[in-house]
Amino acid sequence: MNETQQPSGVKQRSVAALVAAEISSVFGTSMTYLALPWFVLVTTGSPGKMSIVLAAEIAPMAILGIPSGMLVQRLGSRNTMLLADFARAPILASIPLLHSAGLLSFPLLLGLVALLGCFAPPYFAAQRTILPELVGEDERRMSQGNSLVEGGSAFARLLGPALAGLLIPIIGAPNVLYLDAATYLVAFTLLLLFVPGRKPVAAAARQKVLSGVRFLLGDRLLGPVAGVVVVFGFLSAGLSAGLPFYAYQEFDGSSRIAGLFYMALGAGAVVGSIVAVGAVKKVAPLRLSGLGILAFAAPLWVMPFLPPWPVVFGALFVATFFTPLINGPLIAVLTARTPQELRALVITAVITINTLAMPLGFLVAGQVLEHWGVAPLFLATVGGVTTMALIYSGIALRFRDVDASLAQPAVVEEPAAAGA
């Protein structure tokens, strides 16, 4: 019995295990999102150095993201996820271990964080390409599956930062990283025991490293979307750098307030994912994501005014409520519109394109924070997000009648000399 012939109960258990593994992994990672920049701020007092650390984690994703698609193709989705989870646990645990021994210099920290970032692109791509193996090729089922994964991630992002904010004053930011390392091992175990494997796509060996990029940029829908994604990557870095610094500077160095900000991001996405699972049954995926992105941008306009933290919490909650209605449907359209033998390469290309501008975004954000403060950073970020939301919704409106499951473009054979 192959994967597409598995009983529905087996598929449901596999998807449930995938979501549980995602919750475990993201739970720890979301604690690190707060613990790592907080550690740098406390030990150096420099938002510039904090931004450099964040950029160091993202830079390998941009550099290695496209080649990592070949790894997913050759190892298969499940094996790639297992490798990434198993490798990241000791790398992350080494940071607090070296710190406690007095051996963690700033350059070494940058190197470890960069090494950690190398495993993110193939993991995220495998996480999405494994869904058709578990639920089949139907676009709406993939939208639901993606929404469930988004919901699991959001649930973890809801609890992780809040717990980190409580633990940092008690055990210190470095020690919180030990918990993150353990969550990778839990995710590894869940995938190993409960998610079935599948042989890699046979045609993958014939694909070139840049095949995914060529397909993506040559598609009349996905090419323009890729351009929007690049700018969003740059802008999201500004928001990510601004939130912990805002809590650190404006609320007397309170890690609990910073944890609440990240908790709001997760809480909104948890509730939104519940709505998204039902919404994708009634609204065309591309149209749903186009409406969702406009609603995402609107509440962020309170941020430049630096309101009290409950207002910030509410704005972040409302904005991220709409992220599952954007991401799940969009990834489903991308997956269904891409030929099976190119999916890992295309999805890693999308992840890479998204992260290409993020290191620059973090570095620019750090300089803005150093010289002008957090209000100008938020103003520029929110204005850019709104502009990109309008552009994306225009693309979605133009292609609102696209049925990705029926309108897959044909694979264009590449010349033999066109290797990358």
User: What's the CATH code of the domain at 201?
Assistant: 1.20.1250.20
Is residue 239 included in any domain, yes or no? yes
- For the stretch 307-325, pLDDT in tens is 998 999 999 999 989 988 8
Largest CA distance in the chain: 62
The C-alpha atoms of residue 299 and residue 394 are separated, in whole angstroms, by: 20
Q: In this structure, which amino acid lies at residue 65?
A: G
Q: Is the pLDDT of residue 209 over 60?
A: no
Q: In this structure, which amino acid lies at residue 284?
A: A
Q: What is the mean pLDDT of residues 123-133?
A: 74
Is residue 136 included in any domain, yes or no? yes
Is residue 309 included in any domain, yes or no? yes
Retrieve residue 125's tokens.
């791509």
pLDDT of 108: 92
Number of domains into which the chain is organized: 1
At 254, the pLDDT band (50, 70, 90 cuts) reads confident
Q: Is the pLDDT of residue 212 over 90?
A: no
**Helix pair angle (309-321, 255-279), 10° resolution:** 30
pLDDT of 146: 67
Q: Is the pLDDT of residue 332 over 60?
A: yes
The C-alpha atoms of residue 74 and residue 67 are separated, in whole angstroms, by: 12
Is residue 64 included in any domain, yes or no? yes
Is residue 361 included in any domain, yes or no? yes
pLDDT of 203: 45
Q: What is the mean pLDDT of residues 74-87?
A: 87
Is residue 55 included in any domain, yes or no? yes
Q: Is the pLDDT of residue 402 over 70?
A: no
- List Cα–Cα distances, 392 to 124, 214, 268, 416, in angstroms: 23, 21, 21, 35
Choice between 338 and 310, residue whose per-residue pLDDT is larger = 310
Query: Is residue 15 within a helix (H) or strand (E), and if so which, with residue range?
Result: helix 8-44
Retrieve residue 55's tokens.
């950029």
pLDDT of 4: 44
Q: What is the mean pLDDT of residues 95-101?
A: 86
Is residue 109 included in any domain, yes or no? yes
pLDDT of 204: 43
pLDDT of 56: 83
Q: Quote the domain boundaries for residue 306.
A: 8-398
pLDDT of 295: 93
- For the stretch 7-46, pLDDT in tens is 455 567 777 888 888 888 878 777 777 777 877 777 777 7
pLDDT of 208: 58
Is residue 159 included in any domain, yes or no? yes
Q: What is the mean pLDDT of residues 341-361?
A: 73
pLDDT of 3: 42
Q: How far is CA 368 from the centre of its chain?
A: 24
Q: What is the mean pLDDT of residues 370-387?
A: 92
